[in-house]
Amino acid sequence: MPYKITSVVVGLYALIGLAVCYFYNFTNWLSLFVAVLSYALLPALSAYWTWQKVRVGILIAALYFAFQSIRRVSPESFLPHIAPISLSFPLGDFTSGNGLLIDVFAIAMVIILLSLQAKAKH
């Protein structure tokens, strides 16, 4: 049952990510492609792998959320500093538009996914 609940949460993350990519005004096609790949497609695959209890897939999902756990905010970023589901708090000085976001949701997902990955059979 924890695999299915986690899979549903990651699936919702992918659906919200797809909606964010649809409504966000991207300036070029390359950034749109990378955003759809990273905010919708990879989480959707991660949800499927978690549902199927695939160890390598769950590990890839954990790595994805590990990279989402700390995000740099900068006006010069190639991708926007968005996360479809985020419980983040700022670190640093945001007066000039720069800083770090520490995402507690992503850190919790890493912990949950790594514990599920250790229990997965294949």
- Given this model, what pLDDT does residue 104 score? 92
Provide the number of structural domains found in the chain: 1
Domain hosting 76: range is: 1-118
17-74 pLDDT tens trace: 999 888 887 778 888 888 888 889 999 999 999 999 999 999 999 999 998 888 877 7
Share of the chain above pLDDT 90, in %: 43
pTM of the model: 0.84
**Number of alpha helices (DSSP H) and beta strands (DSSP E) in the chain:** 5, 3
CB-based contacts of 44, cutoff 8 Å, min separation 6: 11, 14
SS3 81: coil
CB-based contacts of 96, cutoff 8 Å, min separation 6: none
